[in-house]
Amino acid sequence: MVKDDGLAAGKGVVVTEDIEQARAHALACERVVIEEYLDGPEVSLFAITDGTTVLPLKPAQDFKRALDGDEGPNTGGMGAYSPLPWADPKLVDEVLETVLQPTVDELRRRGTPFSGLLYAGLAITSRGVRVIEFNARFGDPETQVVLARLKTPLAGVLLNSANGTLADQAPLSWSDDAAVTVVVASHNYPGTPRTGDPIEGLDEVAEKDAPHAYVLHAGTKRGEDGAVLSAGGRVLSVTATGSDLAQARERAYAAVGRIRLDGSQHRTDIARKAAEA
Q: Specify the pTM.
A: 0.88
Distance CA 150, CA 211 (A): 15
Query: Which of helix, strand or coil describes residue 104?
Result: helix
CB-CB neighbours of 89 under 10 Å: 6
Q: What is the largest CA-CA distance in the chain?
A: 56
CB proximity list for 222: less than 8 A, separation 6 or greater: 228, 229
Please write the tens of the pLDDT for every residue from 206-240: 999 999 999 999 999 999 999 999 999 999 999 99
Single out the residue of 23, 28, 21 nearest to residue 6, CA to CA. 28
In the chain, domain spans? 1-37, 38-276
What value does the mean pLDDT take over residues 181-210? 96
Q: Which among 156, 141, 98 has a CA at the least distance from the CA of 122?
A: 98
Is the omega angle on the peptide bond into residue 56 within 30 degrees of 0, that is, cis?
A: no
What is the pLDDT at residue 10? 67
Query: Are the CB atoms for 186 and 195 separated by under 8 Å?
Result: yes
Tell me the pLDDT tens digit for each residue of 112-142: 999 999 999 999 998 899 998 999 999 999 9
Strand 61-62 with 128-135, pairing: unpaired
Asked whether the beta carbons of 51 and 108 are under 8 A apart, the reply is: yes
Whether residue 100 has pLDDT greater than 70: yes
Of the listed ranges 39-43, 154-158, 201-205, 218-222, the one predicted with least confidence? 39-43
Fold that domain 38-276 belongs to in CATH: D-amino Acid Aminotransferase; Chain A, domain 1 (3.30.470)
